[in-house]
């Protein structure tokens, strides 16, 4: 009698994605998850990758990393722009190395476009054109968000119906693409999901709004004490860089020009950061795969306990 031995299929590697708005505690949870699985963390953040922006991007410090290897944290100069497409290519290449050592890798971040590029693939759209971007940036600064919204609706109604029309950076990029390509953005979309050789498990953080806003306000105070203004001044030569148009950096020139008091400048940073957090939540709530930890659960240990009880598929040790 012949016995046939059937080998079990090799488990696919996986990404454990920790997502949510800024100041929701993603870094602390990602670090503890990585320690549980003895693995590494990939930061999916459009600013933490720049070594000159540790304060304003709230990049995890060496102490906060707790010995866990982190990638895409302070690994390049702000002069080396990291687009979503570049992040996709670099992260996929990195993962081929990490999979040889770990079956699980943690991804931590709030940049929805970066995460979508990694998980689903990124449509190859037009290369960035700084002159066209500057044109639309100036329009936004002089005439406000409504002017951008009007331009997008006129040129690509289908995009306007699907896009986050409150995100001025997305609108500027869409208009820049249309200027470069000479046709609507939606004509260039393939929206085809690329097949990946790994599985994904999503964990989302969503503190109650009042709590989140308190955390954001406290973070801005801490950034100010840590030298945010000096960091922004040193980066002023890169003012046209997309990362420098974000909360914590874009507000300072008006203060330096005497148009605002320092207190008003910091208030604007708080306000713009809160707006950004709302946009992040809107983005991730569209993803049905995210398992949201209940808002009242805030402590890292309690969040880990919730994952153990409610997400057995994560197989948390």
CB 238 within 8 A of CB 245: no
In a domain, 84, yes or no: yes
**Contacts (Cβ under 8 Å, ≥6 apart) of 221:** none
Asked if residue 196 and residue 100 are part of one domain, the reply reads yes
Asked if residue 139 and residue 156 are part of one domain, the reply reads yes
Average pLDDT, stretch 312-316?
94
Does the predicted model carry a pTM greater than 0.85? Answer: no
DSSP run (H or E) holding 271:
helix 262-285
Bridge-based pairing of strands 199-205 and 14-19 is: parallel
Q: What is the count of structural domains for the chain? A: 2
What are 157-209's pLDDT values in tens digits? 888 887 778 788 778 888 888 887 777 877 666 556 688 999 999 999 999 99
What are 247-290's pLDDT values in tens digits? 999 999 999 999 999 999 999 999 999 999 999 999 899 899 99
CB 144 within 8 A of CB 168: no
In a domain, 1, yes or no: no
What are 56-90's pLDDT values in tens digits? 999 999 999 999 999 999 999 999 989 888 999 99
Q: Of 187, 208, 224, which residue is a domain's last?
A: 187
Asked if residue 171 and residue 32 are part of one domain, the reply reads no
**Sign of the alpha-carbon dihedral angle for 87, 89, 92, 94:** negative
Angstrom distance (rounded) from CA 204 to CA 16: 11
The pLDDT confidence band at residue 131, using thresholds 50, 70 and 90, is: confident
Asked if residue 114 and residue 84 are part of one domain, the reply reads yes
Which residue(s) pair with 202 in the sheet? 17, 290
pLDDT at 47 over 60: yes
For residues 73 and 239, the model is more confident at 73
Asked if residue 64 and residue 213 are part of one domain, the reply reads yes
Asked if residue 32 and residue 88 are part of one domain, the reply reads yes
pLDDT score of 2: 47
* Token pair belonging to 100: 């040889």
What's the CATH code of the domain at 23?
3.40.50.300
The pLDDT confidence band at residue 123, using thresholds 50, 70 and 90, is: low
What are 12-21's pLDDT values in tens digits? 999 999 999 9
Asked if residue 168 and residue 198 are part of one domain, the reply reads no
What's the CATH code of the domain at 151?
1.10.20.140
Asked if residue 200 and residue 83 are part of one domain, the reply reads yes
SS3 181: helix
Asked if residue 290 and residue 207 are part of one domain, the reply reads yes
CA angle 133, 139, 142 (to 5 degrees): 140
**Contacts (Cβ under 8 Å, ≥6 apart) of 153:** 160
* Half-sphere exposure for 270 (CA within 13 Å, toward CB): 18
Asked if residue 157 and residue 38 are part of one domain, the reply reads no
Q: Which domain holds residue 81?
A: 14-123+192-236+277-314
DSSP 131-167: HHHHHHHHHHHHH-HHHHHHHHHHH-HHHHHHS-TT-
Asked if residue 180 and residue 38 are part of one domain, the reply reads no
Angstrom distance (rounded) from CA 95 to CA 98: 5
Asked if residue 182 and residue 200 are part of one domain, the reply reads no
The pLDDT confidence band at residue 134, using thresholds 50, 70 and 90, is: confident
Which residue(s) pair with 291 in the sheet? 203
């Amino acid at each position: 009698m012949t016995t046939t031995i059937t080998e079990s299929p090799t488990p696919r590697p996986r990404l454990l994605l920790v997502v949510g708005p800024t100041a929701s505690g993603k870094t602390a949870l990602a670090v503890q998850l990585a320690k549980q699985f003895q693995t590494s963390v990939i930061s999916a953040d459009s600013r933490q990758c720049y070594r000159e922006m540790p304060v304003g991007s709230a990049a995890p410090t060496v102490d906060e990393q707790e010995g866990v290897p982190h990638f895409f944290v302070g690994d390049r100069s702000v002069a080396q722009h990291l687009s979503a497409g570049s992040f996709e290519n670099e992260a996929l290449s990195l993962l081929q190395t990490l999979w040889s050592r770990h079956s699980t890798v943690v991804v931590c971040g709030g940049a929805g476009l970066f995460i979508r590029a990694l998980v689903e693939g990124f449509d190859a759209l037009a290369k960035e054109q700084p002159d066209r971007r500057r044109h639309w940036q100036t329009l936004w600064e002089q005439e406000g968000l409504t002017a951008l919204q009007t331009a997008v609706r006129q040129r690509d109604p289908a995009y306007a119906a699907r896009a986050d029309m409150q995100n001025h950076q997305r609108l500027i990029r869409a208009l820049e693409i249309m200027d470069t390509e000479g046709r609507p953005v939606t004509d260039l979309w393939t929206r085809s999901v690329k097949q990946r050789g790994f599985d994904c498990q999503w964990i989302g953080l969503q503190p109650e709004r009042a709590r989140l806003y308190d955390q954001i306000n406290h973070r801005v105070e801490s950034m100010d004490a840590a030298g945010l203004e000096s960091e922004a001044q040193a980066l002023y030569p890169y003012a046209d860089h997309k990362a420098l148009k974000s909360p914590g950096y874009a507000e300072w020139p008006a203060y330096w020009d005497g148009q605002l008091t320092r207190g008003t400048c910091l208030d604007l940073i708080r306000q713009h950061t809160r707006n950004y957090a709302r946009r992040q939540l809107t983005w991730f709530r569209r993803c049905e795969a995210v398992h949201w930890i209940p808002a009242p659960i805030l402590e890292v240990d309690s969040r880990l306990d919730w994952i153990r009880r409610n997400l057995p598929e994560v197989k948390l040790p």
